[in-house]
Amino acid sequence: MNKLLISIVGATGIGKTALSIKLANHYNCDIISCDSRQFYKEMTIGTAVPSEEELNAANHHFIQNRSITESYNVGQFEKEALQKIDELFLKSPIQIMVGGSGLYLDAVLKGLDYFPKVDSSIRLDLSKKMKLEGINSLQTLLKKYDPEAYDTIAIDNPHRLIRALEICIGTDQKYSSFKNKPKLKRNFKSIKIGLKADREIIYDRINKRVDIMIKNGLIDEVKSLHQFKELNALQTVGYKELFDYFEGKIPMKEAIEEIKKNTRRFAKRQGTWFRKDSEIIWFDFKEKLECIVSAIESNIV
């Protein structure tokens, strides 16, 4: 087995894209994106899709390859990504995967967890509760039923929040208890490279990144998608807050501050998820490429 998939992880805005391009150029290979926010072609600015220059610097896959109107989930991604990775290994024995979506990363590297079927009425009841009482009511429920899931899943994503709760309620067991069971082995080796920085640095980069998004036209992008606001793809930071602004619920300045605050929370949850993974080799976000390459090659057995 001489095939190697190098995965680059870390908080949003920390520089994963830049490193992935440097490594792809170094190893003359492609880049697989496992960022679940960047799959959709209608969402460019708010998901920080790589720039045209970055996309031209290396071959990227699973970037804006679907429409928000299409149903898409982690199971489909796992199947498609594994097929694409197998194709790419025919060209080069080393490939790169990058993204901050821990669930999608794990799906490719380990396979999905098995969850038992539960009564569909539970999901309907939870959806009604969210519409009547708001997403905070469901977040409070999950914190009560499964604190570990509360700390690790994207609790601002209604789909994932309801999924975790319906398992807790339908099985009378924690959602997190069904995770990390033994899976089928992959036909490639993998190594995980993590980028880190002090929390203050990450938060400052996030705040500046949001300001740049606003300057680059995020408000117009979200306005053009307002009619689709109920779609699952748009239940994400950067879009929900501006939908509230367009509906007169909050002023623009507050919406922008909410985007920054919720993105910082998202980064914190990413950190919680990745810190639990002992396989990740961590580097400062400013580390030189030569040091990272040296670490990769010294860890290939």
All structural domains of the chain with their residue ranges: 4-112+183-298, 120-178
pLDDT digits (tens, 9 = 90+) for 259-291: 999 999 999 989 888 988 999 999 999 999 999
269/271 Cα distance (integer angstroms): 5
> Across the chain, which distance is largest between two alpha carbons, in Å?
58
Which band of pLDDT confidence, cut at 50, 70 and 90, is reported for residue 1?
Answer: low
Whose tokens are 């993204």? That residue is: 99
pLDDT digits (tens, 9 = 90+) for 86-140: 999 999 999 999 987 888 999 999 888 888 888 989 999 999 999 999 999 999 9
The mean pLDDT value of the chain amounts to 93
- CATH for the stretch 4-112+183-298: 3.40.50.300
Q: What pLDDT is attached to residue 100?
A: 78
Nearest to 272 by CA among 129, 147, 181, 109: 147
Q: Decide if pLDDT at 68 tops 90.
A: yes
- CATH for the stretch 120-178: 1.10.20.140
The answer to whether residues 138 and 162 touch, using CB atoms and an 8 Å cutoff, is yes
291/22 Cα distance (integer angstroms): 13
276/207 Cα distance (integer angstroms): 26
Q: What pLDDT is attached to residue 96?
A: 98
Nearest to 284 by CA among 54, 100, 11, 33: 11
Please tell me the pTM assigned to this model: 0.82
* Average pLDDT value for residue range 24-31: 98
Position with higher pLDDT, 76 vs 300: 76
Which band of pLDDT confidence, cut at 50, 70 and 90, is reported for residue 45?
Answer: very high
Nearest to 2 by CA among 158, 190, 147, 220: 190
